[in-house]
Chains A and B, each alone.
Chain A
Amino acid sequence: MHAVQMKGIVKRFADLTANDNIDFDLEQGEIHALLGENGAGKTTLMRILYGLYHADEGEMLINGTPAVIHSPKDAIRLGIGMVTQHFTLVPTLSVAENMVLGETGSITVNLPDVEKKVAAASERFGIPVKPQALIKHLSVGERQRVEILKALYHDARVLILDEPTAVLVPQEVEVLFDALVRLQNEGLSVIFISHHLNEVMEICDRITVLRDGHSVGTVRKVDTNLKQLANMMVGRENFGVTRQGQREKGRVELCIQGVHATDKKGLPSLKGVSLDVHQGEILGLAGVSGNGQAELSAVLCGTKKTTSGKVMVGDLNLTNAEPSAVCAAGVGRIPEDRYANMVGELSVAENLVLDQLDQFVNRGILDQEKIQENAKKLINEFQIKASPGDRVRTLSGGNMQKVMLARTLSQKPRVVIASQPTRGLDVGATDYVRTTLLEQRDNGAAVLLLSEDLEEIMALSDRIAVIYAGRIMGILPAQEATAEKLGLMMAGAPTLDRKGGVDAEI
């Protein structure tokens, strides 16, 4: 029995065909993965199923009966729930209040009743959530659980999860997978989008691969392997980039000394961080998110003030310098949140010159020709699938990241600060970004790589530092680092080989 059948779905955006005659079916009680490169059309297909977009052609059957889905309301009525890449909860309301936001049936809301129902659903599906908690007090992982619960609360029988693991730390991924298996046992069907092939192989029954808006095919997990999936996705089997060989260390290019800073709420989040990054090396900074990485990268980029400590680039003191001064000193950054670091309404060409306007302005007037030329050159060089005039908002995640990368690296920075540079990217784009970072290193740049992905850190870094609760727990040369050692340090166990991070305060 098919819970969902989509037949011959076509969706065009102006002259771009995001979905080109796609067939997709979902069986009752299966977890079905949707794989594909950035911009392959996965989100678009699911938005059509959930009523957020309308297909130009094609038909949909829900539980075997033809269905017309005009809006999410229709989808919810048909038992379909979706957790989007960006959450849609109201932060100032409680979990229970968020559950009934869309309801229009009655004038009054019987909150205790709702809370009881939420608690019951949370118990039944093994998704721990407190109904009275305010959303703004919840972590990202908890918010995601609320989103899932919201769908279940509305009696969803089909659950769409768009890159749910992109925002989670490894422990939370485990919790999520446990919940999904329980849902499956209850007879629900799940559509799961991810770029991590091993996650897909761990949890899914069947896998559909999209490429350039076409469906490449659907395979059963038991019949396939990682290589075949990679081949279906990007047309080649081998992926993965690793650092080759040891390099002669240059002089210290980025020097961070005893930096202290506070977080949004004014609580100390960096407690005396000291790091040296040499020319021609990648220093990986591992750590579970929320241990001070965001604040450290903000301090290094000039968007956050330190309360004490010092930041030097070469001989230049950049402590608490303005972002423009940091830029001018040759520090390039690849930020974690690309949505927050691009101006979506501006074009690709305009975003590419935003931090170096002086070079593209002639007596205050934009030099359009030069800006276009620059865009064409970088689009070509970084293989960005977009034209100079496209608004950045309409680009897929991977292409947006490439724009960011192009802007930063085209200025030949001496120091590169890369935060989660491959989060949400497909295997092809991930390889591309990693290769580019290694190129920077080989050209003599000092690269600080902040990532939660241990595999990434170990593949790229010459040395690996671990941050925990705002302190550096230790620094290991890459040869000595193992996942177990790093894992322990990430959980807060200090090592003995460096006392710099382990203050007397502990």
Chain B
Amino acid sequence: MELTLFLVGLIAATLRVATPLIFGTLGELFSERSGVLNLGIEGIMFLGAFTGFAVAAKTGSLWIGLLGAIVAGGLAGMLMALLSVRLGVNQHVSGLGITLLATGISLYSFRVIFGESKIPPSIEPFPMLPILPELHVLAPITNQYLLTYIGIAMIAVVWWVIGKTRFGLQIRAVGENPEAADAAGLNVYAIRTRALVIGGALMAVGGAFLTLAQLGSFTFGIIAGRGWVCIALIIFANWQSVNVLFGALIFGGVQALQLRLQTLGFKLPYELFLSLPYVVTIIALTLAGRNASAPSALLKAYRRE
């Protein structure tokens, strides 16, 4: 019984931890499949977390908050597109620039809007869905936030969009060979821009999940490197949407386990536990990354001669 409880709790926590990673990685997937590495992800998730929180706090509606995060993320994606696609700025430079800018704007706006108070402002977050009665053994697993379910469904949606729609085929074409796509009459700039905007919106939802669902408040260390983890997960997933689920669950699982081991009182420095998910990510990457095949045009700005 004890073990069942432990496992149920572990699985439930795994899903919660995985949710923002799923959104973030899917967002990055859109960007990278179109040929743009978006290192702005860390900042855009932070921006999403902040905007979602601030808009929800001011309007009193969590859904409008979520919408605000989507809009902010989309705008950040558009800025990334302006820099890296239109102006052809190096993708590493523009991405890191976006991360710094988005983080800075969020911190500044937070101070302006909420001032310096001792007690951090908070909102009533999204409830968990009461799918099974509270006392059911499996309730912790099934009764998740709606956004977690949306995230998992989103994997299927992204798979479908990339594989089955015109837009998806266009994204794949410009990500693999923009010259050929251009010559075939596809608008490389427009397609990459759209992919980055959608990608930015998804990343921001990942961030907003933390403030609007999981925590109900905004702290400065809220993203804590999750964006960078997504960058690693996408390599682990070999740029395939379906694999994103496994990557996010593995990382989420180790993270959840790590927290539990700490509370069980294992006598080891807690920094060691904290580093565990990252160590596992690195190991998984080394194993999976060997036959990874990135989109051929990744990192290459497209310029007509």
Task: Return the CB mask of B289-305 against A: 1 if under 8 Å, else 0.
Answer: 00000011000000011
Q: Which residues of A contact B169 (CB under 8 A)?
A: 346, 350, 354, 357, 366
The smallest C-beta distance from B32 to any residue of chain A, in angstroms, reads: 13
Contact A335 B183 (CB under 8 A): yes
Residues facing B in A360-398 (CB within 8 A) are 361, 364-366, 368
Contact A365 B166 (CB under 8 A): yes
Contact A364 B177 (CB under 8 A): no
Q: Out of B165, B173, B187, B305, which one reaches A354, CB within 8 Å?
A: B173
Contact A324 B187 (CB under 8 A): yes
B interface, by DSSP: helix, strand, loop or mixed?
A: helix
Contact A323 B185 (CB under 8 A): yes
Contact B172 A346 (CB under 8 A): yes
Task: Return the CB mask of A311-349 against B: 1 if under 8 Å, else 0.
Answer: 000000000001110111000010100001111111000
Task: Return the CB mask of B170-195 against A: 1 if under 8 Å, else 0.
Answer: 10110011011111111100000000
B167 is an interface residue with CB less than 8 A from chain A:
yes
Q: Which residues of B contact A298 (CB under 8 A)?
A: 305
Q: How distant is the Cα of A333 from the Cα of B180 in the complex, in angstroms? A: 12
Q: Which residues of A contact B295 (CB under 8 A)?
A: 345
B164 is an interface residue with CB less than 8 A from chain A:
yes
Q: Which residues of A contact B170 (CB under 8 A)?
A: 357
Q: How distant is the Cα of A76 from the Cα of B63 in the complex, in angstroms? A: 65
A301 is an interface residue with CB less than 8 A from chain B:
yes
The smallest C-beta distance from A175 to any residue of chain B, in angstroms, reads: 29
Q: How distant is the Cα of A322 from the Cα of B295 in the complex, in angstroms? A: 25
A264 is an interface residue with CB less than 8 A from chain B:
yes
The smallest C-beta distance from A393 to any residue of chain B, in angstroms, reads: 9
Residues facing B in A136-165 (CB within 8 A) are none
Residues facing A in B266-305 (CB within 8 A) are 295-296, 304-305
Contact B177 A355 (CB under 8 A): no
Contact A345 B186 (CB under 8 A): no
A130 is an interface residue with CB less than 8 A from chain B:
no
A65 is an interface residue with CB less than 8 A from chain B:
no
Task: Return the CB mask of B137-166 against A: 1 if under 8 Å, else 0.
Answer: 000000000000000000000000000111
Q: Out of B166, B176, B181, B187, which one reaches A344, CB within 8 Å?
A: B176
Contact A322 B185 (CB under 8 A): yes
A303 is an interface residue with CB less than 8 A from chain B:
yes
Q: Which residues of A contact B183 (CB under 8 A)?
A: 301, 303, 323, 333, 335, 341, 355
Contact B186 A354 (CB under 8 A): yes
The smallest C-beta distance from B158 to any residue of chain A, in angstroms, reads: 15
Contact A361 B166 (CB under 8 A): yes
Given contacts A264-B305, A304-B305, are A354 and B179 in contact (CB under 8 A)?
Answer: no
Q: How distant is the Cα of A264 from the Cα of B305 in the complex, in angstroms? A: 6
Q: Which residues of B contact A303 (CB under 8 A)?
A: 182-183, 304-305
Q: Which residues of B contact A333 (CB under 8 A)?
A: 183
**Which A-chain residue is minimally distant from B172 (CB atoms)?**
A346
Q: How distant is the Cα of A350 from the Cα of B169 in the complex, in angstroms? A: 8
Q: Which residues of A contact B186 (CB under 8 A)?
A: 324, 354-355
Q: Which residues of B contact A328 (CB under 8 A)?
A: 185
The smallest C-beta distance from B111 to any residue of chain A, in angstroms, reads: 43
Given contacts A298-B305, A301-B183, A335-B183, are A368 and B177 in contact (CB under 8 A)?
Answer: no
Q: Which residues of A contact B172 (CB under 8 A)?
A: 343, 345-346
The smallest C-beta distance from A352 to any residue of chain B, in angstroms, reads: 11
**Which B-chain residue is minimally distant from A324 (CB atoms)?**
B185
**Which A-chain residue is minimally distant from B178 (CB atoms)?**
A343
Q: Which residues of A contact B164 (CB under 8 A)?
A: 365-366, 368
Given contacts A357-B166, A368-B164, are A340 and B179 in contact (CB under 8 A)?
Answer: yes
User: Interface size (B, Cβ < 8 Å)?
Assistant: 24
The smallest C-beta distance from B198 to any residue of chain A, in angstroms, reads: 14
Q: Which residues of A contact B166 (CB under 8 A)?
A: 357, 361, 364-366
Contact A355 B184 (CB under 8 A): yes
**Which A-chain residue is minimally distant from B177 (CB atoms)?**
A343
The smallest C-beta distance from B261 to any residue of chain A, in angstroms, reads: 42
Given contacts A346-B173, A366-B165, are A341 and B180 in contact (CB under 8 A)?
Answer: yes
Task: Return the CB mask of A257-281 against B: 1 if under 8 Å, else 0.
Answer: 0000001100000000000000000
Q: Which residues of B contact A264 (CB under 8 A)?
A: 305
Given contacts A364-B167, A365-B164, are A343 and B181 in contact (CB under 8 A)?
Answer: yes
The smallest C-beta distance from B59 to any residue of chain A, in angstroms, reads: 32
Q: Which residues of B contact A340 (CB under 8 A)?
A: 177, 179-180
Q: Which residues of A contact B296 (CB under 8 A)?
A: 344-345
Q: Which residues of B contact A354 (CB under 8 A)?
A: 169, 173, 180-181, 184, 186
The smallest C-beta distance from A421 to any residue of chain B, in angstroms, reads: 15
**Which B-chain residue is minimally distant from A327 (CB atoms)?**
B185
Q: Which residues of A contact B167 (CB under 8 A)?
A: 364
Q: Which residues of B contact A364 (CB under 8 A)?
A: 165-167
Residues facing A in B12-64 (CB within 8 A) are none
Task: Return the CB mask of A491-505 against B: 1 if under 8 Å, else 0.
Answer: 000000000000000
Q: How distant is the Cα of A335 from the Cα of B187 in the complex, in angstroms? A: 19
Q: How distant is the Cα of A63 from the Cα of B149 in the complex, in angstroms? A: 66
Residues facing B in A291-321 (CB within 8 A) are 298, 301, 303-304
Residue among A263, A264, A333, A343 having the largest count of chain B Cβ atoms under 10 Å: A343
The smallest C-beta distance from B170 to any residue of chain A, in angstroms, reads: 7
Contact A343 B180 (CB under 8 A): yes
Residue among B166, B176, B181 having the largest count of chain A Cβ atoms under 10 Å: B166
Task: Return the CB mask of A83-110 against B: 1 if under 8 Å, else 0.
Answer: 0000000000000000000000000000
Q: Out of B168, B176, B304, which one reaches A343, CB within 8 Å?
A: B176
Q: How distant is the Cα of A264 from the Cα of B183 in the complex, in angstroms? A: 17
Contact A342 B165 (CB under 8 A): no
The smallest C-beta distance from A389 to any residue of chain B, in angstroms, reads: 13
The smallest C-beta distance from A15 to any residue of chain B, in angstroms, reads: 21
Residue among B185, B186, B295 having the largest count of chain A Cβ atoms under 10 Å: B185
Given contacts A357-B166, A366-B166, are A343 and B185 in contact (CB under 8 A)?
Answer: no
Q: Which residues of A contact B187 (CB under 8 A)?
A: 322, 324
Q: Out of B176, B184, B185, which one reaches A345, CB within 8 Å?
A: B176
Q: Which residues of B contact A346 (CB under 8 A)?
A: 169, 172-173, 176
Given contacts A304-B305, A357-B166, are A344 and B182 in contact (CB under 8 A)?
Answer: no
Q: Which residues of A contact B177 (CB under 8 A)?
A: 340, 342-345
Q: How distant is the Cα of A298 from the Cα of B179 in the complex, in angstroms? A: 11
Task: Return the CB mask of B190-226 against A: 1 if under 8 Å, else 0.
Answer: 0000000000000000000000000000000000000
Q: How distant is the Cα of A303 from the Cα of B167 in the complex, in angstroms? A: 22
Q: How distant is the Cα of A301 from the Cα of B183 in the complex, in angstroms? A: 7
**Which A-chain residue is minimally distant from B293 (CB atoms)?**
A345
Q: Which residues of B contact A344 (CB under 8 A)?
A: 176-177, 296
4 more CB-based (< 8 A) A-B contacts, given A322-B187, A323-B182, A343-B181 = A324-B186, A327-B185, A335-B183, A354-B180
> What would 13 A/B residue contacts be, using CB atoms closer than 8 Å?
A303-B304, A304-B305, A324-B187, A341-B180, A343-B173, A343-B181, A344-B177, A344-B296, A345-B172, A354-B173, A355-B185, A357-B170, A364-B165
Q: Which are the 3 A-B pairs with shortest beta-carbon distances? A: A324-B185, A355-B184, A361-B166
